[in-house]
């Protein structure tokens, strides 16, 4: 046994031992160094800088450097955003640059109940800037750009009800007026030519959606969807509305909070509960209860709310039954009644419309305009269709069809569209049959509307 060979071993042990030791230290350092610690130290530094008294200074020095998180078991989320965004609940940090800015509007959506990612998206569990903001490979939900943040309101609230989300309401309006439902289903209503849109906001980015509206085939090869002529503002609005359609459902507590007591919600309840059976508006309706046109002038809002909760409390002996409205519903109905002074609101009640007006609503509801144009004026391209490569307009249907023929045509559809040039691909757009989707009363109203489109003074046999 030569000592020399042993010394040889010791040399190797030293080298490899140092190597493994060095790697362990390096691994420890990489694990211990986290970028959020820098942000927390800056925050502590800022707090110390602001301290006016020795006590405040001592408090600031004691702020622990640790991961902060908001646990949201009902939403199946853990949001660690506040690990870096430490001052979201401190108004004195208003106007500070990120990550230390204060987050306004905490009253309706307290951070401890809602966290951050449910509205802002991103990756709540992550603790690095890149991963948390979510623009990384293998993460489906990057942060929603702030310009589209109102899309998140639409995950829970009815678009039109939310005074805090005007862009969302406008987006919904553009969606309905552009006739998207003619081909796409949303919430179960719409055509079958295009894909359903219920979850489109969960897996499409704003960029993709915008490109898609302007030139569908560029991002969806083979798409037959006609390019949309949208103003810049409308394009942004409808993109925002699409982003709000994520198909998520809010559980328990969140579902109970989502109805905003708005006039629009009140109008839905008013129609749904059949109030018009006893009360009248604008001279139409029952006469068992008082007319409601000027109820907003006669009664204080609080009185109306209490009346909805329990009529006997404010009008002893009244025959109006107790409907069991919730506080939110009572407030929504009250809001609606207060708005009745406004002529436009009153006239939008279905009971005030004639058949042609209702038919126009049906035309909008099922997105007929998507192919046949606003008010049936046509102009939507359908490449290689024999009808001048356009979807036909509907202005003169009264000349070619009887009411029954028109009704049958709507219900049955026309799947084969004659091609201009049989060698080219067939026209992408066709008339789907709406039977089974549209209600019978709605078809009758729609037919009445379509017949009415013929300009006055034009003769049938010109």
Partner 1 sequence: MSAPLPKRLWQKFERSRVGRSIFRVGLPESNLERSQAMVSSFLLHMQPAKVNRHSLRASYSFGLGLISLYLFLILVGTGVLLMFYYVPSTERAYDTMKDLEFVVSAGLLMRNMHRWAAHLMVLFVLLHLCRVFYTGAYKRPREFNWVLGVGLFLLTLALSFTGYLLPWDQLAFWAITVGTSIASYAPYIGPKLRYLMLGGNVVGQEALIRFYALHVFVLPAVAGLMVAIHLWRVRKDGGLSHPNEPGDVVEQVDLGQLPTNKTYGLMELARGTTLQVGQNPDDEVFSWPHLVFRELLLFLIVMAVVLFLAIFWNAPLEEFANPIHPPNPAKAPWYFLGLQELVSYSAFWGGVVVPGLLVTALLLLPYIDRKRQGVGRWFARERRVAITIFTVCLLAAIAFTVIGTYFRGPNWGWQEPWKRPPPAAEGH
Residues engaged in binding partner 1 (CB under 8 A): 1, 5-6, 9-10, 12-13, 16-17, 19-20, 23-24, 26-28, 30-32, 67, 76, 78, 80, 123, 125-128, 131, 137-140, 203-205, 208
Minimum distance from CB of 132 to partner 1 (Å)? Answer: 9
Integer Cα distance of 142 and 122 in angstroms: 5
Integer Cα distance of 86 and 93 in angstroms: 10
Integer Cα distance of 194 and 181 in angstroms: 9
The pair of structure tokens assigned to 349 is: 């009640």
Minimum distance from CB of 25 to partner 1 (Å)? Answer: 10
Integer Cα distance of 122 and 116 in angstroms: 9
Residue closer to partner 1 by CB (options 19, 313) is: 19
The pair of structure tokens assigned to 242 is: 């699409």
Minimum distance from CB of 133 to partner 1 (Å)? Answer: 13
Minimum distance from CB of 210 to partner 1 (Å)? Answer: 13
Minimum distance from CB of 71 to partner 1 (Å)? Answer: 12
Residue closer to partner 1 by CB (options 32, 404) is: 32
Minimum distance from CB of 23 to partner 1 (Å)? Answer: 4
Residue closer to partner 1 by CB (options 127, 158) is: 127
Which of 36, 207, 37, 203 minimizes the C-alpha distance to 130? Answer: 36
Q: At what angle do helices 166-177 and 355-365 cross, to 10 degrees?
A: 100
Integer Cα distance of 28 and 262 in angstroms: 56
Q: How distant is the alpha carbon of residue 52 from its chain centre?
A: 46
Residue closer to partner 1 by CB (options 128, 389) is: 128
Residue closer to partner 1 by CB (options 83, 280) is: 83
Q: Are 271 and 345 in contact (CB under 8 A)?
A: no
Residue closer to partner 1 by CB (options 78, 408) is: 78
Minimum distance from CB of 356 to partner 1 (Å)? Answer: 43
Residue closer to partner 1 by CB (options 125, 284) is: 125
Minimum distance from CB of 367 to partner 1 (Å)? Answer: 25
Minimum distance from CB of 38 to partner 1 (Å)? Answer: 16
């Amino acid at each position: 046994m030569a000592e020399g060979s042993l010394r040889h071993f010791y040399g190797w042990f030293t080298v490899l031992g140092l190597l493994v030791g060095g790697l362990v230290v390096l691994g420890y350092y990489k694990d211990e160094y986290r970028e959020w610690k820098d942000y927390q130290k800056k925050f502590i530094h800022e707090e110390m800088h602001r301290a006016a008294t020795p006590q405040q200074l001592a408090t600031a020095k004691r702020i622990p450097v640790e991961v902060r998180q908001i646990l949201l078991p009902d939403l199946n989320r853990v949001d660690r955003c506040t690990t870096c965004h430490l001052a979201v609940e401190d108004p004195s940090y208003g106007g500070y640059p990120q990550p230390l800015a204060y987050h306004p509007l905490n009253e309706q959506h307290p951070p401890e109940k809602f966290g951050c990612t449910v509205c802002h998206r991103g990756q709540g569990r992550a603790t690095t800037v890149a991963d948390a903001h979510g623009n990384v490979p293998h993460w489906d939900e990057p942060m929603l750009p702030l310009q589209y943040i109102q899309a998140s309101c639409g995950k829970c609230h009815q678009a039109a009800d939310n005074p805090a989300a005007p862009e969302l309401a406008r987006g919904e309006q553009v969606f309905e007026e552009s006739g998207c439902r003619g081909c796409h289903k949303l919430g179960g209503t719409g055509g079958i030519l295009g894909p359903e849109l219920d979850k489109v906001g969960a897996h499409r980015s704003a960029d993709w959606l915008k490109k898609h509206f302007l030139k569908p085939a560029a991002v969806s090869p083979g798409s037959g969807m006609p390019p949309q002529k949208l103003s810049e503002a409308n394009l942004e609005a409808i993109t925002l509305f699409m982003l709000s359609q994520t198909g998520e459902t809010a559980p328990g507590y969140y579902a109970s909070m989502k109805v905003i007591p708005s006039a629009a919600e009140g109008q839905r309840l008013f129609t749904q509960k059949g109030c018009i059976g006893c009360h009248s508006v604008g001279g139409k309706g029952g006469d068992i209860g008082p007319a409601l046109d000027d109820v907003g002038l006669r009664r204080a809002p609080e009185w109306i709310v209490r009346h909805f909760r329990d009529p006997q409390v404010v009008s002893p002996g009244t025959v109006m039954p107790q409907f069991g409205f919730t506080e939110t519903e009572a407030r929504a109905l009250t809001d609606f009644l207060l708005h009745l002074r406004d002529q436009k609101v009153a006239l939008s009640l279905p009971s005030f419309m004639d058949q042609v007006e209702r038919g126009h609503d049906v035309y909008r509801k099922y997105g007929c305009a998507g192919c046949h144009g606003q008010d049936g004026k046509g102009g939507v391209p359908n490449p290689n269709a024999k009808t001048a490569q356009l979807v036909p307009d509907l202005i003169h249907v009264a000349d070619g069809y009887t009411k029954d023929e028109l009704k049958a045509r709507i219900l049955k559809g026309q799947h084969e569209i004659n091609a201009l040039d049989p060698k080219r691909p067939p026209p992408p757009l066709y008339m789907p049959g709406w039977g089974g989707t549209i209600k019978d009363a709605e078809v009758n109203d729609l037919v009445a509307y379509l017949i009415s489109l013929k300009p006055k003074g034009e003769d049938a046999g010109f």
